[in-house]
């Protein structure tokens, strides 16, 4: 039986994606930039999953109270684990981080209720712009970058499947779950 690589995310609106791309378009990202069509906020990575588990996840998310709609506003660029030894370059939130964290917690509860183990890393809301290997110092880039300041609604979460095509990820939306 083939396994499917899944995650639950908030997809960017087309307007937000284009606005963020325009604001960061002049920046040369180190490492391997994430293509704008792939931009999303991962709420919960699920990983390699068999069909019965996919069905349980779909049913549990469909039956779960994921909360109410809200707005977020993208802010400054940052880096994991830190600017001087960055492996991920990202955009953080200027507004809505608490609401997004609460949504991630509700998604986590649904996923564990579906029988999967708990996530071992704390949720840190961000939009990945580039993956950097080996780590680099991006402190100057972060200091020079302007805050993005793009707002968008969060009105749904999506169950996504990741397809690795020649080392590049392609994401497929399997199902969308509306917030109240």
From the candidates 18, 40, 68, 163, give the one annotated as an active-site residue. 40
CA distance 116 to 113: 7
pLDDT digits 0-9 by tens, 53-80? 999 999 999 999 999 999 999 999 999 9
From the candidates 18, 68, 113, 126, give the one annotated as an active-site residue. 126
Q: In the CATH scheme, what is the code of domain 4-178?
A: 3.90.1140.10
Radius of gyration of the chain (CA): 16
Residue 1 has pLDDT above 80, yes or no: no
Annotation marks residue 126 as catalytic: yes
Helices 97-113 & 51-63 angle (0-180, nearest 10)? 130
Cβ atoms of residues 10 and 100 within 8 Å: yes
How many CB atoms are closer than 10 A to CB 149? Answer: 14
pLDDT digits 0-9 by tens, 33-55? 999 999 999 999 999 999 999 99
Report pTM.
Answer: 0.95
Q: In the chain, what are the domain boundaries?
A: 4-178
pLDDT digits 0-9 by tens, 122-175? 999 999 999 999 999 999 999 999 999 999 999 999 999 999 877 778 899 999
Task: Please report where in the chains the tokens 């990820």 appear, as a residue.
Answer: 169
Structure tokens belonging to residue 85: 């030894």
The whole-number pLDDT of residue 4 equals 95
User: Which residues, in sequence order, are CB contacts of 81 under 8 Å at separation 6+?
Assistant: 87
């Amino acid at each position: 039986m083939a396994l499917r690589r899944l995650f639950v995310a908030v997809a960017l609106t087309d307007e937000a994606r284009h606005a963020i791309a325009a604001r960061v378009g002049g920046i040369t990202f180190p490492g391997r930039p994430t293509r704008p069509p792939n931009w999303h906020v991962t709420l919960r990575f699920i990983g390699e999953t068999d069909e019965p588990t996919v069905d349980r996840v779909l049913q549990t998310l469909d039956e779960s109270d994921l909360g109410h709609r809200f707005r977020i506003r993208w802010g400054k660029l940052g880096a994991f684990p830190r600017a001087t030894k960055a492996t991920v370059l990202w955009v953080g939130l200027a507004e809505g981080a608490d609401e997004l964290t609460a949504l991630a917690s509700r998604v986590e509860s649904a996923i564990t209720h579906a029988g999967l183990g708990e996530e071992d890393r704390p949720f840190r809301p961000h939009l990945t712009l580039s993956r950097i290997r080996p780590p680099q110092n991006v402190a100057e880039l972060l200091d020079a970058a302007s805050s993005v300041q793009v707002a968008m609604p969060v009105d749904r979460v999506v169950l996504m499947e990741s397809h690795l095509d020649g080392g590049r990820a392609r994401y497929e939306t399997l199902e969308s779950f509306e917030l109240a």
